Amino acid sequence: MNWRDRWLDRQLDGWSELGLISAAQAGAIREQRARESAAARVAPFTILASLGGVSIGVGIILLVAYNWENIHRGWKLAGFGLLLAGLAEASARLPRTRPTLGAATILVWMAAPLAGIGLWGQVYQLSGDPLMPLLVWLALTAPVAWLSGNATAAFVHAAGVVVAVFTGSHVPGSPLSLEARGWWGEPPGEFRTTFAPALAGIMALWTYGAVVLTRRLGGASRWLFLVAFLFWLWSLSLWHTPFQCQAMGYQATLAAGLIALYWGALGPARLAGGRSDGFGTFLIALLLYTMTFFWRSHAPAFDFREELYVPLGFLLAMTASGVLLVAAAGARSGREARVAGWLLRGLVLLPVCLGGLILFWGLTGTVAVIANLALLALGILLMVEGVRRNLPGRINDGTALLGLVIATRFLDLFGTMLRSGFAFIVAGVAFIGLAWVLNRGRQSLVVRARGFDVGRNPDGSPRDAGVAP
């Protein structure tokens, strides 16, 4: 009996004693579990035989690898062709009889052309642009991603698009490269003639990846793709591209714009309903927290060179898109949801406004103060949302955020142990008061939901009188 079965056994005994389930039900659950365990158990000889098979396979591969240079290139290429044919045939037959093995074979078939490109490069001593092998691989495996019905294959294909975009845009000399190529201060003609076609090609790749995801995948895959896309946009400002600008004000505003884009693209329904998203909230909190440290930053670090009109246009396009997407989220019906929705939208757009204050007016001190207050507001909002929707994790997030801000600022502002000590005591009292208020709110919510007083049974007797609610 493994640890899971022992745990289940103990639980069943406990539940039987409490009267939650009958002895017959406990017995039926044990029998079902025993059947499942027997079905899942692998016979020892099967493991041994598999180990033997793997060892022989690895041995053959190593022997071939050692003598690789002595094998004529014709044999190598023909061997690869046979392997490709075998994988394709297995991908056609296996999914019907053995679905798991079939799915794995499809993935190996998908990887095979990339290995083939490497083999051809090795055999004919070819080197060059790393983007082209990726594009060729995407083209050769597109039918597998689209027609096999295998979700993992579609995901790998979309991931390949992301890798191709990053490789193409950040490797100098590649046809889709957005890296500036050693010439700075070129006239705008340089951007239009050189970078604009590359940008168009890259956007076509992103669009293709988005179509693959929309048609073939969803959920976490789309989320990952969106995050990759936004990170790529941000990378353009950090790498050596025409969009590069590392001024702090620029970076803060761009990050704020991209966060707004994230929220707007993720789901207008969330914004309209005032429902926070874990990762999105983390991004806002991280940016606001960073902004709180701008108080002591020197102005030159925030300088933005106005002559860089390409980065400025990029910044405006990104932030405007984000703001429009967030603003376009329609309000939900119901006063409470509407208020929460507007509050959330305000919170998402606040970093954009703060970024603008830094970028155009250099008001770092003002921004730091507002960011502190916004972080406190965000913490309280998370706690209120946690109470309202009965999400303990949200309450913990809010509490952690409040604790972080207060601890950082107290150490930052008060300096000495005596003053920090007083400040911590005051904050502690405020925390306890907040916890009391929130707990009262949670209790009244439970009462409204159940229709009776939490501390009493429906007949009005105290809860500990032994009557079940």
Partner 1 sequence: MKWVRWTLLAQLLFFGGWAAREEWNRQGPVIVLETAPVDPRDLLSGQYLQLSYRISRLDGVRVTGDLPRNAGAAVAVRLVPAPDRPDGRTVWRAAEIACPGPAIPVRQDPAQGVWVTGRFTARRFGGGLGWVEYGIERYYFNEARVKEFASRRSGAFLVECTVGRDGRLAIRRLVE
Residues that bind partner 1 (CB under 8 A): 65-66, 68-69, 77, 80-81, 84-85, 88-89, 91-92, 113-114, 116-122, 124-128, 133, 136, 140, 143-144, 147, 172-175, 177, 181-183, 186, 190, 194
Taking the complex as a whole, the smallest distance from the CB of residue 312 to partner 1 amounts, in Å, to 23
Question: Measured between alpha carbons, how far is 33 from 20 in angstroms, rounded to an integer?
Answer: 19
For partner 1, the closer CB: 45 or 124: 124
DSSP string across 383-448: HHHHHHTT-HHHHHHHHHHHHHHHHHHHHHHT-SHHHHHHHHHHHHHHHHHHHHHHHHHHHHHHHH
Coil/strand/helix, residue 462: strand
Taking the complex as a whole, the smallest distance from the CB of residue 317 to partner 1 amounts, in Å, to 24
For partner 1, the closer CB: 174 or 399: 174
Taking the complex as a whole, the smallest distance from the CB of residue 61 to partner 1 amounts, in Å, to 12
How far lies 333's CA from each of 266, 272, 324, 340, 345, in Å? Answer: 20, 9, 21, 11, 16
Residue with tokens 């039926």: 28
**Token pair for 385:** 């949302």
Angle in degrees, CA 435, 440, 443, rounded to 5: 125
For partner 1, the closer CB: 76 or 456: 76
Backbone angles phi, psi at 64, to 5 degrees: -65, -40
Taking the complex as a whole, the smallest distance from the CB of residue 221 to partner 1 amounts, in Å, to 23
How far lies 236's CA from each of 8, 28, 181, 208, 281, in Å? Answer: 53, 61, 14, 20, 24
For partner 1, the closer CB: 87 or 405: 87
Taking the complex as a whole, the smallest distance from the CB of residue 245 to partner 1 amounts, in Å, to 21
Question: Measured between alpha carbons, how far is 310 from 178 in angstroms, rounded to an integer?
Answer: 13
Query: What count of other Cβ atoms lies within 10 Å of the Cβ of residue 179?
Result: 19
Taking the complex as a whole, the smallest distance from the CB of residue 124 to partner 1 amounts, in Å, to 4
Torsion angle of the four alpha carbons 417, 419, 424, 430, in this order, in degrees rounded to the nearest 10:
180
Angle in degrees, CA 80, 83, 85, rounded to 5: 110
For partner 1, the closer CB: 198 or 205: 198
For partner 1, the closer CB: 76 or 332: 76
Taking the complex as a whole, the smallest distance from the CB of residue 451 to partner 1 amounts, in Å, to 59
For partner 1, the closer CB: 91 or 292: 91
Question: Measured between alpha carbons, how far is 160 from 308 in angstroms, rounded to an integer?
Answer: 33
**Token pair for 102:** 């079939």
Taking the complex as a whole, the smallest distance from the CB of residue 66 to partner 1 amounts, in Å, to 6
For partner 1, the closer CB: 94 or 404: 94
Question: Measured between alpha carbons, how far is 285 from 95 in angstroms, rounded to an integer?
Answer: 46
For partner 1, the closer CB: 116 or 398: 116
Taking the complex as a whole, the smallest distance from the CB of residue 165 to partner 1 amounts, in Å, to 17
